Amino acid sequence: MEKKVTMKEFTGTQKLMIQMIVMVAIAVLIEIFFFNFRSIQSAFYQESDYKQYEATITGVHPAEGLNDTYYMDEDIAEITIHNIGHEVKNVQVDVENVNAIELPYARTGGCDIIVESEDEYLTGQNTTGNFFVTHSNPNSQYVWFMSKGKVDSITIRLSMDAGYMFCIHDLKLNANRPVIFSLPRFVIIFICVLFLYAMRKKSCLWREDCIDWKGWKKAVIAALILGFSLTGFYFAKENETIAIMDNYFPYQELARSLENGQTSLMELPDETLLSLDNPYDLVERVEVGLDYRTQDYKFDYVLYDGKYYVYFGIVPCLVFYYPLYHFTKLNMPNMIPVFFCCVMFCIGTFMLLRELIRRYYPKTPFAMLLLMQLAMMFGCQIPFFMTQGENYILPIIMSMMLTMWGLFFWISSLKTEPKKIVWSRLLMGSVCMALVAGCRPTTVIYSFLAIPIFLPYCKVSDTGYTKKNRFWSILILLIPYAVVAAGLMYYNAIRFGSPFEFGTKYTLTLLNLNAMEFALDRSLAGLYESFLRLPSPSYCFPYIREANIAPDNFRHGMMFREMLIGGLIPCNLFLLGIIGLYPLRKKNIKKELFLFCNMILVSVILLVIFSTSYTGCVIYRYLAELSSPLFLVAFIAIMAMQERFAGKEYYNLFCKIFVVSVVMTIMFGCCAPFIPEVKFPLELGNTELYYKIFYGFNFW
């Protein structure tokens, strides 16, 4: 008898190769039989060309000397196929926009079509939705619709600007769609299969902890962050709207001013603006004919004492823009510092998460660290920031990055045996946390987290940590704050005559920030929008839309709301794990860690109340500076749950719920950069790439 070969007889490398081959095979089968199911469905259709029937084309005139090529007489042309006399399941419309001009402000390279059909059961017309067809993308050319019985006529309505020329390459009824194998989609499927396999119950990722730092673990984390960063860089590089439609450059202008020895901008305000009784009132500016859209004045800049200023924190300018301008007289593109801070944020969050695990929950599985890292990268809007890099985003992501690194250096500075504080790390942490004030002054509130971090060391009375050590530690902790505070106060004083005035209330924006006062209803609305606003899902790519925001009849006073996708909790369901913080506080969470979490929660709520009440704004990007510390609280609670539930019968259910919640966060993070309401939409910046993705997922 032949001996059966079992998996146990293979070496580790051989097992890995077999597993990889199986996963590749599964991905191939999914690509062919799921994403190409229409090819299988249409394989036995009896296809026919539109020229076999009586067809008319209106709204066009033929191009001389070119077959099947027409000029648009109007914005809409209609191709009507008459007297078909049989069932029709699909139509292939391969139309090329011959003389399309690539414009970053509109979809280019194709045309919009709508298909209308009339069959023996419908007295009216059966109309499909709008499809954007391109000759270079076969996925976009097949329109499936639901007719019943014999079809009498089909009308294909093409939308294109008058004067454009288009060529009909193919127009078929009941077309046999070929199998269209998409390599990028296959790679995504393979990554998903690999992820599911890695997250299975018996995976080594769940057996291995985070303390034993083996080489393969380093490789996994490095590959994760590198792949994430390169993907974000690719989509940013391919989106032309970022370079063309970005018209707001406060940091670049501030760098030029600093080079010329002044803090006010080089450009002076218009006399009409200065003559207004209240130039901060939008209505007054409109009444005298000043329109920011025609650049009559510098919108979203500070106007004070007859000069323009920048209200953004100066630290990003001093770190990135000013050095480059000083030495080369070149203006730095916004994408470079934004992308750099995004990558450093990802690395900093990993360092901080692992340090928390090492110190408080050393038995946490490596799989949970990976999931937490993924949630931080996708849930804190990093894909959105990478692909929407602009001046508005830079101070936010830089403050987030500095906060993560500052907390890491602070926590890693604490040594337990013997009890001491590593002063170099303490100093680095304080430098990072102090510089936050020069990016986003409000988020300096996270510096108070030093209290729960260092409080246990202030109470130590043994000889391992003396009063002298405590004195020097406190001094090192505070020195960076004193230096940064002195610099910022001097900067404010020479601009606005007060060391405590950052200039925000003098901003020329939609709202008169001078008139903003505390309003409870605005604060409550801000808390709801920030944490509880439900997202607006869609069944087609990108699967989410801007959150539906109905008028608030109850709230008094004005509130400005920019694009919102949804509140933090509905978009990141694992945040509900924060509830477990309190039942577990006695056995599984140390006192200083419990105080750390509560201070974060209080700080986040205060930030929302301050922002919405005194600025009247609820903006999607603002949620990022709330999410990163809030995620830390959720992860601490989840790690405490993991410690409590380990070995229990419901432990596997807990792990599955956590995995699913993180996967949903990843999906939200991936879809956010593609929604139509973003400032730099890929649909306009690279129409071909966008619709390859669009039809790659909307394959039905």
Give the DSSP H or E segment for 302: strand 302-304
The mean pLDDT of 200-206, rounded to a whole number, is 89
DSSP, res 318: I
Per-residue model confidence (pLDDT) at position 463: 47
Whole-structure pTM value: 0.92
Which range, 66-70, 114-118, 379-383, 523-527, is most confident? 379-383
Instruction: Name the residue with higher pLDDT: 613 or 58.
Output: 58
Residue 100 pLDDT > 80, yes or no? no
Q: For 300-305, which contacts have Cβ atoms below 8 Å and span 24 or more sequence positions?
A: 300/248, 300/250, 300/507, 300/508, 300/509, 301/250, 301/265, 301/507, 301/508, 302/503, 302/504, 302/506, 302/507, 302/508, 303/269, 303/273, 303/279, 303/506, 303/507, 303/508, 304/495, 304/496, 304/503, 304/506
pLDDT tens-digit readout, 208-258: 888 888 889 999 999 999 999 999 999 999 998 888 888 889 999 999 999
Domain ranges of the chain: 10-36+182-196, 48-173, 247-328
pLDDT for 550 equals 55
pLDDT digits (tens, 9 = 90+) for 310-332: 999 999 999 999 999 999 999 99
Residue that is written with structure tokens 């102090």 in the block: 434
pLDDT tens for 464-477 read 566 777 888 889 99
Please report, for residues 47, 555, 630, the alpha-carbon distance to residue 564 in angstroms, rounded to integers and kept in the order given: 46, 18, 18
**Candidates 2.60.120.260, 1.10.630.10, 3.40.50.300, 3.90.1300.10; CATH matching 48-173:** 2.60.120.260
Q: How confident is the model at residue 294 (pLDDT cuts 50, 70, 90)?
A: confident
51-95 pLDDT tens trace: 999 999 999 999 888 888 999 898 899 999 999 988 899 999 999
28-32, 405-409, 422-426: range with lowest mean pLDDT: 422-426
Tokens 């001097």 belong to which residue? 490
Q: In terms of DSSP bridges, do strands 302-304 and 131-133 run parallel, antiparallel, or are they unpaired?
A: unpaired
